[in-house]
Structure 1
Amino acid sequence: MSDIQAPARSRSGGRAARRTLRTTRDFTMLPGLTRAIPECEVMDGAHVERIDAASMDILENVGVQFRDPIALADWKRAGAKVDGERVFLDRGLVRELIKTIPAQFTYHARNPANNVKLGGKHSVFVPMTGAPYLRDLEDVRRNPLLADLAMFHKLSHMLPALHSTAHHIVEPYDHPISQRHLRITYSSMKHSDKMFMGMTTSPKNAEDVMDMCAILFGEDFLDTHAVTTGNCNGNSPLVWDETMLGAMRAFVRRNQPVLCSPFVLGGANTPASVPASVAQLNAEALSALAYTQVIRKGAPAIYGHYLSTVSMKSGAPMAGTPEISLMNFMIGQMARFYDVPWRTSNTLGGAKTFDAQAGYESATTLSAVLHAGANYIWHSAGWNEAGMHCSVAKFVVDAEQCAMGYKMAKGPDWSDFDTALQAIPDVGPGGHYLGHPHTQENFQSAFFMPELFDNNSIEQWVAEGSKEITRRALDHAKSLLADYEEPKLEEGVNEALLDYIARREREIPAVETLNQDY
């Protein structure tokens, strides 16, 4: 060991203060991610132009079905060729429309400290949605209730790397399908002051969400600020239906962004080819993006997709495959080519439990979407069993993985480079840095220390109960929930929201299958 002693340096607060810092939980949301690593681009310029040309050829010569009379009339007025339900889009018209989509915009949360930018180098992590089952705090697979949805919204509020509460992370089976959107939206608004998503299960449901957002933020504010996100799924190949298009109009008319998301099952509803699948998906996304600008010029919109490949053995969707990563890289390039924000799916798992398969699938996808330069990174926590259930254990571990990915994507921190270099002559050959003042002052921020991974010796692990990751994660989730503090809505706003919900629940028939005609 070196005989050179490190010079004394002041330590703010001393040992007790550092111990408190290590043990005090901080639930403050991480700022929106500003990526500082280069995007992985698997296509050269000629390949990008080839995909663009193929997509434009599909739009001009194959066409896209818009199964909605209002959209068909809109397209005719915009100058598109319409034959029955099939719309043929000239590439010049498409390019003229999509260029009015903002390349970047800001989401405004109930708490302005949780506002986030989207587009360009700006990215956000959003939890999964739509699970008909959950694996609960005891890892039991069962039907969810509204209280379970509230639990996930509370966890989303407390996990720093999650920038949103999404919407129906799990389906609340104790409420009629026709009325669920009201309670789901209120749960997002009540249990967190982060941004949230809005239901698009029908045009009228989407209008209800917009009305509730107007109560929360004010109608004038809603008209000029993005406060929520709608998701509109296409029916690949090359179909947009009346439900999604009506919901899209409800959001876009009030200047709220929508994800224009073809639903891709590679090899089943796209060709069995990565480049050809991307060309079809790109055409589908462009047709919807262009339509948002027919509805309202300059409204924010997001190039979306849901990506999966299909097992030729079973027909089941797969996650974490190399083709999904390649398509994400390619779609990122296409979105940047058109200068629009884009959405992808993250930490997807096909495993039935939170096992090694789930971990491998999710880690592969997380790395790929960050290197692809995705902006709206959806399904970032909880997704397993091909989306059939949301796992509490996986939810909190995925969120920590997002925090790790966040730090990686920010790139190297050069802020204390010169100061850190000064430690090298202090320690000298053969020494160690563990006791050096610079290490003591910076160990928490210099290297990420996962809370949910066990890096202790096997002896210590056994002494602490031999807990595997699922048990540790569930214990952590219970501990988080015990510390939850609700960010209270203003009393008048809360009363107005509850009054609105009560009135709409009186007006909407309580049916268990969604009826679009109410």
Structure 2
Amino acid sequence: MNEGQTGRRSGGRADRVAKRALPPAVNPCPPGQRGGQYRPLSEADIVAIYQTALRLLSDLGVGEVPEILVKPFLAAGATFGDGRVFFPQDMVKRAIGMAAKTFTFHGRDPARSIEVGGDAVHFGTGGAAVLTLDIDSGGYRPSTLRDLYDFTRLQDTLTNVSWFTRCCVATDLPDIYDLDVNTVFALMKGTTKPVATSFTIHEHVAPIMRMVDIGLGGDGTSGLFRATPFLKTHISPMISPMRYGEDAVMVTLACIEHGIPLSCITAAQSGATAPATLAGFLAQSLAETLASLIMVNVIKPGHPMVFSNWPLVVDLRTGSFVGGGGEISVMNAASAQISNWLGLPSGVASSMTDAKVPDAQYGAEKGISSLAAALGGGNLIYESSGMMASLLGASFEAFILDDEMHSLIYRTLRGVEVSEETLGYEAICEAVLGPGHFLGGTHTIAAMQRDYFYPTIADRDAPVTWEEKGRPDAWGRAKLAARRVLETHHPSYLAPEAEARMRDEFPIQLDP
């Protein structure tokens, strides 16, 4: 060994230790990684499912068509009979061709905007939990408006929640107008990420969009929202099996009128409102989501719409909804694969665990379903953070745990980069002929900063250290992390004068 090699082996240890302690210079696993590696369906399978969906739309048709849609559908080539509308295959294909393939889902902070579509994967939220897992008692209680605001500002700090849909319902607001108004207010006050909500009835859309304009600094009629639409609506215009829901259709039309992007969600349940067979389920739910797509693009071609085909599962022994399991995981991945095959922005769901607390069941169900949906290529993966108890509950600790889980999934999607640098021929030679290891080397430090994710919640201590620390578990660590955020992160994303006017003109019930 020469003198230079000896120096490399013994010198600079303190500097190397300091470098290893630094956080990564670049996030090694940011949102927007490429999905689509998992293909549960063959090309022939997809074609068979698609052809069956086309047959359902052309031969069986869709029932309970609201009167407001009859003339537009007829003008576009549909036919009617026995109270049902029939969509010829060429009409369906035209609608797919007209539909938006990608769109920008804006954040009020432009740096937080995301591009929806292609092969980019983003985890976000959804749900309408009526219960919150209390961070102090560890038991469930009815969700409140304050909970919704607290969830909003908590996720505002989390890297892997790319957009935030209200995850719980403020059950302390029984009036539906107050509920819809205060939900949007809490979203605007608590985050500048892209957000999503729902409107109970279509009459609420116009006044709430007036409030949104005021919140953006306008006079209520300025139209500022249309320049950077940051608010999306979740709506289910189709009711399984194979009929329109008039109230939801009216909300959809009102949102189109106001330039609000849509997530048109089909949420059939296996063996209840859709076939129990996975293939049959996928065919029917595809037909139903296509019926929403047809409606949107007949009214306004190219309007931003997430093709949100969510396969949901029923435990056929009891009839209860199942949030976790192999079937729901593979079907959501298959749904994403079909939507991407059609070239449409895909929306699916994951992490809808049936577990009531963060335990082994929680981790298994969330990890399997989230990874399957991401590898399947879901562009927007709903319900993916914070949800528990088969969507009945939301949890502050779960948001923390799920955010770290999604970093691991994004790192899996990122895969392996092969280049002259990463193959490391020179580094191997240097280690073999020099110190005999790679610890602290330049090549190692670079990879450490660029390629590896380091968890803050998962425990990597030795057993003896874990014992000395009091045997902490993941739930406890997440609880501490959530409390730190809730105690310290109090964002002010509404200008004082705008918030004052919103409070003056609308029934805002969130404490200042």
Task: Kindly indicate whether residue 206 of structure 2 is the aligned counterpart of residue 202 of structure 1.
Answer: no
Show the counterpart of 1:515: none
The 8 Å contact of residues 116 and 345 in structure 2, kept in 1 or not, is answered as: yes
Cα distance, 1:260 vs structure 2: 1.8
Please state whether the residue corresponding to 2:63 is helix, strand or coil. strand
Of 216-225 and 479-488, the range deviating more from structure 2: 216-225
Instruction: Label 1:82 to 1:38 Cα distance change in 2 as closer, same or farther (>3 A).
Output: closer
Q: 1:104 aligns with which of 99, 102, 105?
A: 102
Please state whether the residue corresponding to 1:197 is helix, strand or coil. strand
The 8 Å contact of residues 43 and 330 in structure 1, kept in 2 or not, is answered as: yes
Cα distance, 1:416 vs structure 2: 8.0
Q: 1:383 aligns with which of 379, 387, 392?
A: 387
Please state whether the residue corresponding to 1:422 is helix, strand or coil. helix
Unaligned 5+ segments in structure 1 are: 506-518
Instruction: Label 1:45 to 1:7 Cα distance change in 2 as closer, same or farther (>3 A).
Output: same
Measure, in 1, the Cα distance between the counterparts of 2:33 and 2:303: 23
Residue by residue, what CA displacement relative to the aligned partner does 1:440-489 show, whole Å, maximum 9, x if unpaired?
45424422122111121121111111111111110111122233141432
Q: 2:316 aligns with which of 312, 317, 333?
A: 312
Show the counterpart of 2:38: 40
Residue by residue, what CA displacement relative to the aligned partner does 1:199-234 show, whole Å, maximum 9, x if unpaired?
232212333443333334565453354422211223
Measure, in 1, the Cα distance between the counterparts of 2:440 and 2:175: 60
Task: Kindly indicate whether residue 469 of structure 2 is the aligned counterpart of residue 464 of structure 1.
Answer: yes
Of 347-356 and 209-218, the range deviating more from structure 2: 209-218
Task: Kindly indicate whether residue 341 of structure 2 is the aligned counterpart of residue 337 of structure 1.
Answer: yes
Show the counterpart of 1:298: 302
Cα distance, 1:193 vs structure 2: 0.8
Residue by residue, what CA displacement relative to the aligned partner does 1:71-110 show, whole Å, maximum 9, x if unpaired?
3343234332233642111111121122111111111111
Instruction: Label 1:9 to 1:151 Cα distance change in 2 as closer, same or farther (>3 A).
Output: farther
Show the counterpart of 2:151: 152
The 8 Å contact of residues 106 and 228 in structure 2, kept in 1 or not, is answered as: yes
Cα distance, 1:271 vs structure 2: 1.2
Task: Kindly indicate whether residue 235 of structure 2 is the aligned counterpart of residue 232 of structure 1.
Answer: yes
The 8 Å contact of residues 309 and 317 in structure 1, kept in 2 or not, is answered as: yes
Cα distance, 1:431 vs structure 2: 3.1
Show the counterpart of 2:275: 271
Instruction: Label 1:495 to 1:76 Cα distance change in 2 as closer, same or farther (>3 A).
Output: farther
Show the counterpart of 1:448: 453
Residue by residue, what CA displacement relative to the aligned partner does 1:102-139 show, whole Å, maximum 9, x if unpaired?
11111111101111101012232212321000112122
Please state whether the residue corresponding to 2:234 is helix, strand or coil. strand
Task: Kindly indicate whether residue 496 of structure 2 is the aligned counterpart of residue 491 of structure 1.
Answer: yes
Instruction: Label 1:281 to 1:71 Cα distance change in 2 as closer, same or farther (>3 A).
Output: same
Please state whether the residue corresponding to 1:488 is helix, strand or coil. coil
Please state whether the residue corresponding to 1:158 is helix, strand or coil. coil
Show the counterpart of 1:71: 69
Cα distance, 1:343 vs structure 2: 0.3
Measure, in 2, the Cα distance between the counterparts of 1:206 and 1:356: 42
Q: CA RMSD in A?
A: 3.1
Instruction: Label 1:306 to 1:221 Cα distance change in 2 as closer, same or farther (>3 A).
Output: same
Of 210-219 and 43-52, the range deviating more from structure 2: 210-219
Cα distance, 1:46 vs structure 2: 2.6
Of 366-375 and 84-93, the range deviating more from structure 2: 84-93
Cα distance, 1:14 vs structure 2: 5.5
- Equivalence map 1:299-448=2 (5 Å): 299-414=303-418, 417-418=421-422, 420-428=424-432, 431-448=436-453
Q: 2:52 aligns with which of 51, 54, 62?
A: 54
Residue by residue, what CA displacement relative to the aligned partner does 1:23-66 show, whole Å, maximum 9, x if unpaired?
99x9x99865041x543223333322211211111111111124
- Equivalence map 1:113-262=2 (5 Å): 113-138=111-136, 139-167=138-166, 169-178=167-176, 179-217=178-216, 219-223=222-226, 225-233=228-236, 234-262=238-266
Instruction: Label 1:205 to 1:347 Cα distance change in 2 as closer, same or farther (>3 A).
Output: same
Q: TM-score normalized by structure 2?
A: 0.89
Q: TM-score normalized by structure 1?
A: 0.88
Measure, in 2, the Cα distance between the counterparts of 1:336 and 1:92: 20
Cα distance, 1:264 vs structure 2: 1.7
Show the counterpart of 1:280: 284
Measure, in 1, the Cα distance between the counterparts of 2:247 and 2:391: 22
Measure, in 2, the Cα distance between the counterparts of 1:29 and 1:500: 46
Residue by residue, what CA displacement relative to the aligned partner does 1:223-279 show, whole Å, maximum 9, x if unpaired?
354422211223211122112111111222233221221112111111121111111
- Name the % identity: 24
Measure, in 1, the Cα distance between the counterparts of 2:361 and 2:15: 44
The 8 Å contact of residues 132 and 395 in structure 2, kept in 1 or not, is answered as: yes
Cα distance, 1:19 vs structure 2: 7.9
The 8 Å contact of residues 99 and 338 in structure 1, kept in 2 or not, is answered as: no
Cα distance, 1:155 vs structure 2: 1.2
The 8 Å contact of residues 225 and 256 in structure 1, kept in 2 or not, is answered as: no
Measure, in 2, the Cα distance between the counterparts of 1:264 and 1:38: 23
Show the counterpart of 1:86: 84
Cα distance, 1:371 vs structure 2: 1.1
Equivalent residue letter for 2:477: R
Instruction: Label 1:363 to 1:223 Cα distance change in 2 as closer, same or farther (>3 A).
Output: same
